[in-house]
């Protein structure tokens, strides 16, 4: 089916699919982050406000999740670069 499109349309379609996949990965990461941090930090029944310890835990959890995610992305990029040089 993709053979029926001209080259410009194929490139546009590929870019669209790549963008949609990136958005799906982002949404999955947000879902994972939300679920993990909620389960870890919210120990009681939620009310209209989080307790100070819950707020602190949530902030630290998000920071650690983002730090870890960035670290992993950098490691993968470095591995790809090393593999490309060999």
**Predicted model pTM:** 0.62
pLDDT at 61: 94
Q: Among all chains, which residue has been given the structure tokens 């040089």?
A: 85
**What is the chain's pLDDT, residue by residue, as a tens digit (86 residues)?**
556 888 889 889 988 998 899 889 888 988 988 899 999 999 888 788 899 999 999 999 999 988 998 898 899 888 888 887 65
Q: What is the pLDDT at residue 3? A: 65
Total residue length of the chain: 86
d(CA 8, CA 20): 18
- Please answer whether residues 50 and 58 qualify as being in contact, where contact means their C-beta atoms are separated by less than 8 angstroms: yes
> Nearest CA to 25 among 36, 35, 17?
17
The per-residue pLDDT for 60 is 96
């Amino acid at each position: 089916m993709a053979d029926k499109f001209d080259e410009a349309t194929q490139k546009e379609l590929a870019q669209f699919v790549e963008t949609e996949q990136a958005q799906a990965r982002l949404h999955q990461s947000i879902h994972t982050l939300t679920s993990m941090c909620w389960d870890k930090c919210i120990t009681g029944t939620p009310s209209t406000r989080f307790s100070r310890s819950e707020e602190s835990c949530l902030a630290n959890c998000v920071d650690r999740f983002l730090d870890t995610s960035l670290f992993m992305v950098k490691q993968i990029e470095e591995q790809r670069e090393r593999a490309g040089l060999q």
